[in-house]
Amino acid sequence: MITYGDDFQKLSKYRRESLSGKGLDWANKPPLYKIYPPELKRFELPKPRQAGGLPLFSIIKGRRSERNFSNNAVSETVFSQILWAVQGITQADEYHQLRAAPSAGGLFPIETYCFVNLVAGFEPGIYHYQVPDHNLVLIRPGSFGTELAKAALSQKMVRDAAFNLVWSAMIERSKWKYDQRAYRYVYLDAGHIGQNAALAAVACGLGSCQIGAFFDEEVNALIEVDGTAETAVYMTAIGTVR
C-alpha cells in the first residue's frame, strides 16, 4: 500500500519533544530571487496601481473558477496589475522586501512563469517574472499553450487562456530554515499566491481557474527546471470569460 502522503504528514509534524531549534547558517542562505542572465531580453511592465479598484468583498463574491475563455487579448496594464498582485513588492526597506502574498519565514520560495498566449505588446512565449524589477524575461519564445494544456491533463482552458501562470518552488530557499517541513510551506505559499491571482483577475474583469492537475515532469521540462531543486507546484489559467 502506498502511504508516502500519510508518512509525510506524520513525519513533518512539529512535536514539542523533537523541535530542534537549529541555528541558521546565514553564510549559506540561498538567494531570494532567481535572476536570469542579462543577455536574455527583458520586457518592462507598466507601473501597477497600488490602491483603488473594486471593494474586496465584491471581488471575493465574484470569484469563480472559470474554464471557458474567449480569444480577447489582455492589455499590458491588466497583465502587469495581476503580476504585481501575485508577487509584486509591496513594502521595502534596507533589510526586507515584502511581497503581495505572505511567505513562511519571508523566504519567498515560489517563482512565477507566464505562458503568454494573448497579451497585447507581448509575443507568445514563456516568460519569468523578475520580482525586484517588476519586469519579465523571455526565456522561451513561441506558442506553448497547446503543450502546456497537454501537460495539464489536456485541460482545454489552458490552451485558450490569454495567459497561464505556472508556479515553481525553489525548495532549498525554504529548507534552509525549515528542513523537511519546508514541503508543507511551499504549497501554502503557492496557495496564497494563487488566490491573489484569482482575486486580481476578478478585479481586472477577467476570470481564472486554479490548476493542480498536471504531469509534473512535463511542466518542469517546459520551464526548464530539474524537478528537485526547483519544481512546478501550481498553475492558473487567466483570460476573458466567454
Ligand X SMILES: Cc1cc2nc3c(=O)[nH]c(=O)nc-3n(C[C@H](O)[C@H](O)[C@H](O)COP(=O)(O)O)c2cc1C
Return residues touching ligand X (CB under 6 A).
Answer: 64-65, 67, 155, 209-213
- Minimum distance between the CB of residue 55 and ligand X, rounded to whole angstroms? 19
Nearer to ligand X, 29 or 64 (CB): 64
Nearer to ligand X, 36 or 183 (CB): 183
- Minimum distance between the CB of residue 203 and ligand X, rounded to whole angstroms? 16
Nearer to ligand X, 130 or 236 (CB): 236
Which positions ≥6 away from 121 have C-beta within 8 Å?
76
- Minimum distance between the CB of residue 198 and ligand X, rounded to whole angstroms? 8
- Minimum distance between the CB of residue 58 and ligand X, rounded to whole angstroms? 16
Nearer to ligand X, 53 or 62 (CB): 62
Cell of 156: 482545454
Separation of alpha carbons 8 and 213, rounded Å: 20
- Minimum distance between the CB of residue 72 and ligand X, rounded to whole angstroms? 21
Separation of alpha carbons 78 and 84, rounded Å: 10
**Residue at grid coordinates 520560495:** 109
Nearer to ligand X, 130 or 208 (CB): 208
Cell of 53: 479598484
**Residue at grid coordinates 476578478:** 202
Nearer to ligand X, 136 or 200 (CB): 200
CB atoms within 10 A of CB 222: 21
Residue 89: phi and psi, rounded to 5, are: -80, 125
CA-to-CA separations, 89 to 48, 107, 236, in angstroms, rounded:
11, 13, 20
- Minimum distance between the CB of residue 21 and ligand X, rounded to whole angstroms? 32
Nearer to ligand X, 50 or 70 (CB): 70
* Residue of this chain nearest to ligand X (CB atom): 212
133-145: buried (b, 16+ CB within 10 Å) or exposed (e) per residue? Answer: ebbbbbbeeeebb
- Minimum distance between the CB of residue 235 and ligand X, rounded to whole angstroms? 8
Separation of alpha carbons 73 and 52, rounded Å: 24
CB atoms within 10 A of CB 120: 12
